[in-house]
Structure 1
Amino acid sequence: MKQIVVFFLVLLLSSPAKSQNIKNGIEGLFSDWKKNNNPGGVVMVSHQNQIIFSEAYGLANIPYNIPNDKETVFGIGSMSKQFTAMGIVLLQLDGKLSVDDDIQKYLPEMHHFGKPITIRHLLHHTSGLRSSPELFGLAGWRDGDAITNEDAYRYLTKQTHLNFDPGSEYMYTNSGYILLAKIIENITKQDFKSWMKEKIFQPLHMNATFIEEDYSKIMTKIASSYTEIEPAVFITVEDFDLTYGASNVYSTCSDILKWSENFSRPSKEWQQAFTTLQTLDVLNSGKKNNYGFGVFVDDFIGNHRVQHSGAIAGFRSIMYAYPNDDLEIVILSNFTTNQLFKMADQISQLFLQNKSETVSTNTASINPIKTDANSLKKYEGMYWNDIDNYSRKIYFENDTLWYSRSNNKKSPLIPIAVNEFQMGGINEKLVLKFEKNTNKLNLISADNSVTTFEKFEDKAPTMEELKTYTGNFYSKELETSYKIFLKNGKLYGYHSRFGEFEIQVLKKDVLSWSGQAISKYKRNKKGAIIGLNVTMNRIRNLWFDKK
């Protein structure tokens, strides 16, 4: 009996001690947020239906010395997408739509791309639609230009090509969630922010959460957002992207915590909806896609996790929910220079066991075959990846064939079969296969994914060749023009909103626009240039006609 009493005394004493250690551990992660005259944020952690940690740091407004508190409102950026996804889920549960419907059923103005884009594609970021921020940038819109949903929809309806076939790839894009908001408005006949407040925020008692696309309004309790331009010197950051559906939800840490707890402990009437948000589907190839409906569904050190982050202006945000462990972590901040993922990961480790499988880092020994210098030298040259638009150099030096990257780092290529090499000096297995009788090189990863390169002639263009790249180029999809011209023996581009920028030739008919975009020229049967395709970030091959 005495031993049982002692056991329970130890248990009672150790539990508060462990709790305090966890609090101290979390507190230590945010010591930099306690500096004077600095912005900061709010951190909340809930475990097994108890708020374990709740603290506010720094200033919501530096000039007026207004501190952040637990009711301070922050912009949550792309974390907004899960609320838009919930709106779609509720409409499906009400029988108003199906996520497998073609979007043209609700958005008839959209171009028909040959293969249907479904609502499911929009939710999973697998539609192939070009990303709206990049479309605006390429069209000549600048930071500070106010961008609305109407502007985005106008450009999206003018698009006649996709980045890829629907369902074949995952590419994160705001465009799909802007269209989802439009679908919600078209079905409900209500404005998006009012419907979301009535159907989601109010029923879930998220009373401080709202959608706002009008920056001219004076709103209380909202933090100003900042970026640090030099140590301890901050300036405010304004964002004039007024689009909703993909962003522009404002909320408090406590409201987001209420929301995130529904992934672990939903009420009966919300259980199906929150489960549906975690729907995962595979790509057309069968490859896994871990983006559900507005949230990433993955694992951290072997623990099932639902998560999303956000960034808009100087605001940064992150939400982790571990449904099987009833653990929720929310961090909202009003400055750019922080490491929320790292902090959220470290908080997670204070609560979770490492359930991940131990993977041996020992790579299998490489068994090289004998070969001679002449056999190796035939592989030398520059190789171009036409999908991701970058080159690699293969060269022979000191009796070894080398694979050189753009950052000047290199790896030895060890011959293991005829036309086949394994890359040395790295912690993963990469095999290079040179195709016989072609100029192609296939880089094969451990998961059998293949990256293809093609050998090209690396020589500087003549002045006559540079002249062929000049001219005026117009995009119907963006309703904008670029002028390409020669000045002092160099190529330049010009846009009325950006001014001049230098252009570099990477290889024949492939040019870099100051590292911001890649243009690929197209020629007719006679060899004359008829236009060019531009690729940048989440835009692929947007066509410009030569005028």
Structure 2
Amino acid sequence: MKRSIKRLVAFVFLFLALNNTTAQSIPDSLAQKIDKLFSQWNNPNTPGCAIGVVRNDSLIYAKGYGMANLEYGIPITPETIFHMASVSKQFTAYSIVLLARQGKLRLDDDIHQYLPWFPDLKEKITIRHLLNHTSGIRDQWQLLAIAGTRLDDVITQDHIVKILSKQQALNFKPGEKYSYSNSGFTMLAEIVKAVTGQSLRRFTDSAIFKPLGMKQTHFHDDYTEIEKNRAYSYQRKNLFTFSNSVLSYSNAGATSLFTNINDLSKWVMNFYTPVAGTAADIDQLVQKGKLNNGVELNYALGISSDTYKGYKQYSHSGGDAGFRTYLTVLPELKMGFMVFSNLAEVNTYEKTYQLVDLFIKDTSAKVNADIRMDSSRAIIKDEGRAKNFTGDFISEDGAQFSFVLRNRKLYWERYGNSDLLYPGLKDSFTVARSPEIKFVFSTTPGKSVLVNQYWPDNKRLLVKYATDSIQTDNQLQMYAGLYYCPELDCKYTIVAKDHELILTSNKYNDSKLKLVGKDHLFTDYWWMRHLKTISGNNKKIIGFEVNDGRIMHLRFNKIQ
């Protein structure tokens, strides 16, 4: 009886698998290579992937692997609707581009012209800053999480607007750095609404999706709305089972596009044969951003703009809950590649480029990937001076590096990696394998050792710290207390207990704190992994800042 059931299940899945592929126009041998890439998820017991390959004006290959819904045994097909996460951003950006062409706004307009609710932080923030992730505005997801909102809670557009309207400072001066900020794209959706009187969902439906015939696509701004044929979101529970990864977003702009392989293929074609908008609009969408110092970014307007194998490419990834998505368009070849998944562990970036590599050859100028090390260039003449630069360093945002001297050569070590450094002028060093990364060492009058790290679109300052300072219980007690954030109206408590520091709140499980040096605390929370303590004139701790990832200088004051 059990064998009969297993045979039946296998037969049903085989039947479904034969019906989850569009009519293909590629050789069988190539289709088999694609199947091999996704074979891990080609069964009825796992979530999986949907893939698509576009050439010229056709979707030449599309297929689903695994299940859209494990509870009801519904397989993934090219028609399966996926939540696209940050792949959504290019549609929000394109809405702004279309409105700019209509003369309803300009990319260099101050955002306060359209968003009077956003606080005046004494800096001009433009629409272009939002589009390029150079605004300095703190990221909405981290702000919400710090305030106590879990990302699997219901999160509405109004909820995000309210928390953004209370920001009291920027991460940095607009245009000074690139730092990915989902907040900017929620604000762009609100600008679309302010200019047109329509929600982003309604505007994109009329201006983009209907002209392209994308009938199964929309911004899903109401989590209670029923959507037929949608994939559900999963994460791995253990080796053999999965659990639901809940997503209840009722917001749009940074995320929340619902679409499928068949529909998104039409958007791919719009990059090189525009139907919604014009070629000039596409050129505007993929124009690279620039920092105030003139450094050009690889990020354009809601989409990355660079090259792959010698060809121009426009691409973006996405990840929310268990959804992982990736899209890349190679306009010179009139091709596009898509991989969507409803399982958090799937690396859709890697799988997309494995798929691309089956179709295109490398035409880029050949560069020896194994850069040969010139040991003679790495020899340090003044070894005694170089010893001052060795040790452990930490940055304001919590990056931890070490510099080690071995055989008269200096090495940069971090997170299990080691890189040889070439000495330059005035205590400067460059990374042998990546000469665009530079370190400049200096010493303060108080004998503190500092190092400035530079790379193409950013920089940071690191300070040397002692690793052998053991804290007594009395010293740990200095960190203990109740800390309050006026911007987010939330509290956390640090407790000294059993020779350790514990971070606790009413919303989350407790987290042990790791003390690095005297000023840096590290937590287990993804939303505030690094805290930098603030001391008063009497050297007593009066607060801390959350300096981590997309949040900088978020102040908590010690009130007890």
Deviations, residues 471-528 of structure 1 (Å, cap 9, x unaligned): 2211111110111221123222221111422222211222222474222222233333
2:152 equivalent to 1:140: no
Within a 5 Å distance, the mapping from 1:154-303 to structure 2 comes to: 154-267=162-275, 269-303=277-311
The answer for the alignment partner of 2:47 in structure 1 is 39
Using the alignment, how far apart are the partners of 1:380 and 1:331 within structure 2?
45
Contact 2:92 2:302 in 1 (8 A): yes
Q: CA deviation at 1:183?
A: 1.1
Q: CA deviation at 1:268?
A: 8.2
Contact 1:384 1:390 in 2 (8 A): yes
Using the alignment, how far apart are the partners of 2:178 and 2:443 within structure 1?
32
Among candidates 465, 468, 481, match of residue 456 of structure 1: 465
Q: CA deviation at 1:317?
A: 1.8
The answer for the alignment partner of 1:475 in structure 2 is 485
The answer for the alignment partner of 2:89 in structure 1 is 81
| 2:313 aligned counterpart, secondary structure | strand
**Which structure has the larger Rg?**
1
Q: CA deviation at 1:414?
A: 7.8
CA shift in 2, pair 1:455/1:55, >3 Å: closer
CA shift in 2, pair 1:199/1:395, >3 Å: closer
One-letter amino acid of the structure 2 residue matched with residue 391 of structure 1: Q
Q: Identity over the aligned pairs, expressed in percent?
A: 30
The answer for the alignment partner of 2:372 in structure 1 is 362
Using the alignment, how far apart are the partners of 2:106 and 2:380 within structure 1?
61
| 2:212 aligned counterpart, secondary structure | coil
Contact 1:392 1:403 in 2 (8 A): no
Contact 1:367 1:416 in 2 (8 A): no
2:71 equivalent to 1:68: no
Contact 1:149 1:243 in 2 (8 A): yes
Contact 2:271 2:282 in 1 (8 A): yes
2:540 equivalent to 1:521: no
| 2:155 aligned counterpart, secondary structure | coil
Q: How many residues are paired up? A: 528
Among candidates 494, 498, 507, match of residue 504 of structure 2: 494
Q: CA deviation at 1:157?
A: 0.7
| 2:44 aligned counterpart, secondary structure | coil
The answer for the alignment partner of 2:546 in structure 1 is 534
Using the alignment, how far apart are the partners of 1:118 and 1:96 within structure 2?
15
2:29 equivalent to 1:29: no
Contact 1:76 1:310 in 2 (8 A): yes
Using the alignment, how far apart are the partners of 1:132 and 1:441 within structure 2?
32
Using the alignment, how far apart are the partners of 1:421 and 1:146 within structure 2?
49
Q: CA deviation at 1:193?
A: 1.8
CA shift in 2, pair 1:414/1:61, >3 Å: closer
Contact 1:369 1:416 in 2 (8 A): no
CA shift in 2, pair 1:376/1:260, >3 Å: closer
Q: Which runs of 5+ in 1 are unaligned?
A: 1-15
One-letter amino acid of the structure 2 residue matched with residue 489 of structure 1: H
Moved more, 461-470 or 474-483: 461-470
The answer for the alignment partner of 1:3 in structure 2 is none
2:445 equivalent to 1:435: no
The answer for the alignment partner of 1:107 in structure 2 is 115
One-letter amino acid of the structure 1 residue matched with residue 508 of structure 2: F
Using the alignment, how far apart are the partners of 2:53 and 2:490 within structure 1?
48
Q: CA deviation at 1:402?
A: 6.0
The answer for the alignment partner of 1:9 in structure 2 is none
CA shift in 2, pair 1:303/1:468, >3 Å: same
The answer for the alignment partner of 2:16 in structure 1 is none
The answer for the alignment partner of 1:12 in structure 2 is none
Contact 2:208 2:276 in 1 (8 A): no
Q: Which runs of 5+ in 2 are unaligned?
A: 1-23
| 1:351 aligned counterpart, secondary structure | coil
Moved more, 303-312 or 367-376: 367-376
Deviations, residues 323-342 of structure 1 (Å, cap 9, x unaligned): 11101112222222323222
Within a 5 Å distance, the mapping from 1:88-99 to structure 2 comes to: 88-99=96-107
One-letter amino acid of the structure 1 residue matched with residue 376 of structure 2: I
The answer for the alignment partner of 1:389 in structure 2 is 398
The two structures, once aligned, show a CA RMSD in angstroms of: 2.9
Q: CA deviation at 1:374?
A: 5.7
The answer for the alignment partner of 2:515 in structure 1 is 505
Contact 2:132 2:299 in 1 (8 A): yes
Deviations, residues 414-458 of structure 1 (Å, cap 9, x unaligned): 8788856677xx644577654367543546679798654333344
Moved more, 138-147 or 510-519: 510-519
Contact 2:189 2:199 in 1 (8 A): no
